[in-house]
């Protein structure tokens, strides 16, 4: 998506206030798309666009004829004119200082208020362009105190979204819809937010509005189709709720099975929560399908016991595999839900799959044997190689990849602790790279952690 930015204009009072012109912005786009599980299609896999640089323009007054009896310039007006010159030259901080001083002298001046607001809006978008999101939020909040405008809420929505405060981003962007009506980028970003919040009906509505308004990022049609397919497949489903989950299923004869699943999920909530120091208050939706519908809707392999794609989905036939297998499967999938939520889908696959395997509470002997073979054959993959989808790997390499992911995640939890692993996941949500997240969380480069993992593996295998 290409950013669009219309100029915000400052004006000088020359024998009367000139009109104030505000620009409409429509640059908001989607955050980095995620593939919560390697075997699922991407959810709107579009990068965030760079915010355009802010600009101010100064109208040139007609000076062909001299003004008659010009009024003396007050101190406040002198500050205002200096501010316009500074802003025109790109010096927004000093322009803002002068306009604040002008307002101290003449606090009721609508002109100076609007000019300060223009400077703050431009400052906010300049900070967004430089990825100084906290500073941008400060400028937009101050600008909002001077009057309610759609572009302020757009800027706030974008900045809040980039730092992971999606509830505040949602509130800001919904305000844009009320003030200025919808545009493709605002609808698209709201759709992405609702997907993250697992509100699929609203997500679908926003994404359809975005498409109707001309949005066409990669994955949009597929995501809308999947949401529509889910809605159609679940029409007439019944629902049961527990403290932290809502289960949807077909046929009242499956009510007892549903209660069994909910009990196992609540146990997963407690156990996985203890591993990650994470106990979300929002309920997570779980859908129980017939075996045939599960394969059709998720397009998952025959051996898959469940998937997570923003909701936990599982076939009812999976309940026949025994209560312990069911508990392990649900711990695994609930762990994916927690990891994707905390990292906003940006956790590398080795960390996502590794932590989910640890959450199963497996014995791990088979994995260690596979790692021994990989070490002896000098066939181990690097962690950067394990950041992406495991699906293209052949069966042998996939087995090694999952085993390495398990060991690396287990080592991370043992050495850093649950609280710090949660902090890492939260850092990954907004960090530019995995290395940046490791440095911010642990004051340790990613490569150094990888060397630690290899040393620990060699020690454990003797």
List phi, psi (to 5°) of 45: -80, 75
Q: How many of the other CB atoms lie within 10 Å of CB of 348?
A: 20
Average pLDDT, the chain: 83
Give the mean pLDDT of 151-163. Answer: 92
Give the mean pLDDT of 66-83. Answer: 81
Quote the crossing angle between the two packed helices 323-343 and 349-359, to the nearest 10°. Answer: 140
Give the mean pLDDT of 326-345. Answer: 92
The residue ranges of DSSP E strands in 305-425, in sequence order, are 307-308, 312-315
User: What single string gives the DSSP state of each residue in 192-254?
Assistant: HHHHHTT-HHHHHHHHHHHHHTT---TTHHHHHHHHHHHHHHTTT-EEEE-SSEEEEESSGGG
- Does the predicted TM-score (pTM) go above 0.75? no
- Element (DSSP H or E) covering residue 429: helix 395-430
Burial (0-12, 13-18, 19+ Cβ within 10 Å), 49: middle
First-to-last C-alpha distance (Å) of the chain: 53
Residue 401 pLDDT level (bands cut at 50, 70, 90) = very high
Residues 6+ apart with CB under 8 A from 367: 357, 402, 403, 406, 407
CA atoms within 13 A on the CB side of 387: 13
Give the pair of three-digit tokens for residue 309. 């794609």
Residues 6+ apart with CB under 8 A from 70: 15
Domains and CATH numbers, the chain: 8-61+70-229 (1.25.40.10), 234-340 (3.40.30.160), 344-462 (no CATH)
Residue 324 pLDDT level (bands cut at 50, 70, 90) = confident
């Amino acid at each position: 998506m290409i950013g669009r930015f219309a100029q915000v204009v400052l004006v000088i009072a020359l024998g009367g206030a000139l009109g104030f012109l505000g620009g409409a912005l429509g640059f908001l786009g989607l955050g980095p798309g995620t593939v919560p599980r390697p075997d699922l299609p991407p959810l709107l896999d579009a990068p965030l666009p760079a915010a355009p640089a802010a600009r101010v323009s100064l109208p040139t007054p007609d000076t062909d004829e001299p003004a008659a009896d010009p009024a003396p310039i007050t101190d406040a007006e002198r500050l205002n004119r200096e501010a316009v010159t500074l802003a025109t030259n790109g010096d927004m901080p000093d322009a803002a200082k002068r306009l604040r001083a002008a307002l101290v002298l003449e606090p009721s001046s609508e002109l100076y208020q609007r000019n300060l607001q223009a400077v703050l809006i431009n400052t906010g978008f300049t900070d967004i362009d430089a990825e100084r999101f906290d500073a941008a939020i400060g400028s937009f909040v101050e600008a909002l105190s001077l009057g309610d405008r759609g572009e302020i809420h757009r800027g706030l929505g974008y900045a809040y979204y980039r730092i992971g405060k999606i509830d505040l981003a949602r509130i800001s962007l919904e305000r844009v819809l009320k003030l200025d009506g919808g545009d493709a980028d605002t609808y698209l970003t709201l759709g992405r937010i609702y997907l993250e919040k697992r509100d699929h009906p609203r997500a679908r509505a926003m994404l359809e509005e975005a498409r109707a308004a001309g949005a066409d990022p990669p994955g949009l049609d597929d995501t809308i189709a999947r949401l529509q397919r889910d809605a159609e497949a679940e029409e007439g489903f019944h629902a049961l709720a527990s403290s932290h989950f809502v289960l949807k299923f077909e046929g009242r004869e499956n009510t007892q099975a549903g209660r069994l699943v909910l009990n196992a999920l609540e146990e997963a909530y407690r156990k996985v929560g203890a591993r990650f120091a994470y106990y979300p208050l929002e309920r997570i939706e779980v859908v129980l399908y017939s075996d045939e519908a599960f394969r059709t809707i998720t397009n998952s392999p025959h051996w898959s016991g469940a998937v997570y794609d923003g909701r936990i989905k599982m076939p009812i036939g999976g309940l026949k595999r025994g209560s312990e297998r069911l508990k392990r499967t649900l711990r695994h999938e609930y762990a994916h839900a927690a990891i994707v939520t905390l990292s906003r889908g940006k956790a590398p696959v080795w960390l996502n799959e590794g932590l989910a395997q640890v959450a199963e509470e497996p014995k791990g002997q088979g994995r260690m044997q596979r790692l021994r073979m990989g070490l002896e054959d000098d066939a181990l993959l690097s962690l950067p190689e394990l950041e992406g989808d495991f699906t293209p790997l052949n069966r042998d390499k996939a087995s090694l990849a999952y085993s390495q992911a398990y060991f690396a995640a287990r080592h991370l939890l043992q050495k850093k602790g649950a609280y710090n692993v949660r902090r890492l996941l939260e850092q990954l949500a907004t960090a530019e790279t995995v290395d940046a997240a490791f440095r911010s969380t642990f004051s340790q480069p990613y490569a150094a952690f990888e060397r630690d993992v290899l040393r620990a593996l060699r020690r454990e295998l003797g």
